[in-house]
Structure 1
Amino acid sequence: MEKTANTLAEKEKRDRLAQKEQAERNHLAENLDADIRRWSKGKEGNLRALLSTLQYILGPESGWQPVSLTHIITTSDVKKAYRKATLCVHPDKLQQRGASIQHEYICKKSF
């Protein structure tokens, strides 16, 4: 009986933590969606423009090195920059690095 009570208490604790994280994600979504829309507005079909301005949305803690628009003129340069960006914002890579909830949200939206 005591073991069941401990298990139930642990489950409730995990549930409260999950609810707290979800509330934080919802709050971040409200605040960050406008910034992400502003970043991508007018660039939907322009991968070069998105890659060259990615640092404005990701921030310095992401590890993303800014790419100048003049450095991604050729198709092969765009592919290289795209692969680097994918490694920087991919959800699996973020979990490995232990990213913050805010950074995860931004990367998920930009991915």
Structure 2
Amino acid sequence: MAPTLPLIILLMIHGVSSDDWGVSYSPSHICALKDSTVIMRCTYKYPTGHQIMKVFWTNESIKGEEPPDLSNDPEYSQRLQYLGDKQQNCTVRLSHVTLKDEHVLFQIPH
């Protein structure tokens, strides 16, 4: 009988980018064990003269609509903690990683 291996979940994070707007992630791919906690570090830039009113993470993008904020989702509201400063840091902590977390997450500055 083969030994049991821990479950590994890959979180792939993608951002938006242009000359004046951008989101950077470090690292861009994260492997996590089931039930572990991960910190997803990111920073963003925006043109001088603009003010960021709202920053949130989402896992889906709906064309023509504002994407849903994961912190309002019952599956994430107790597990997702925003660690950023709403200036240029958009880092979050995701605890109790599950199989459902295996997908692309997006960080949205507005």
TM-score of the aligned structures, taking structure 2 as reference length: 0.29
Larger radius of gyration: 1
Structure number having the greater strand percentage: 2
